[in-house]
Chain A
Amino acid sequence: MAVTTAQALDDGAALTGLLTAVAAQDRKALARLYETTAPQLLGVIHRLVRRRDVAEEILHDVFLRVWERAASFAPERGSAMAWLVSVARHAALDTLRRRQREVALDEVPSYGDAEDPDPDPYQRMIRTAEGRALAECLDQLETEQRYCIVLAYHEGLTHEELAARLARPLGTVKSWVRRGLQRLRRCLE
Chain B
Amino acid sequence: MEILKTYKLYIGGQFPRTESGRSYLVSSLAGEPLANACLASRKDIRNAVQVARKAHGAWAAKTALNRSQIIYRIAEMLEARKGQFIDELSEAGFGMEEANAEILSCIDRCVYYAGWADKFQALISSVNPVASSHFNFSTPEPMGVVGVLACQNTPLIGFISQILPIIIGGNTVVVLANSKMPLSAISFCEVLATSDVPGGVVNVLTGSIDELLPTLASHMDVNALSLATVSNMPKVFEAQELAIENLKRTQLLVHDFKNQDAQGMEFITDFQEIKTTWHPIEQIAGGAGAY
Q: Do A and B bind?
A: no
Q: Which residues of A are interface residues toward B (Cβ below 8 A)?
A: none
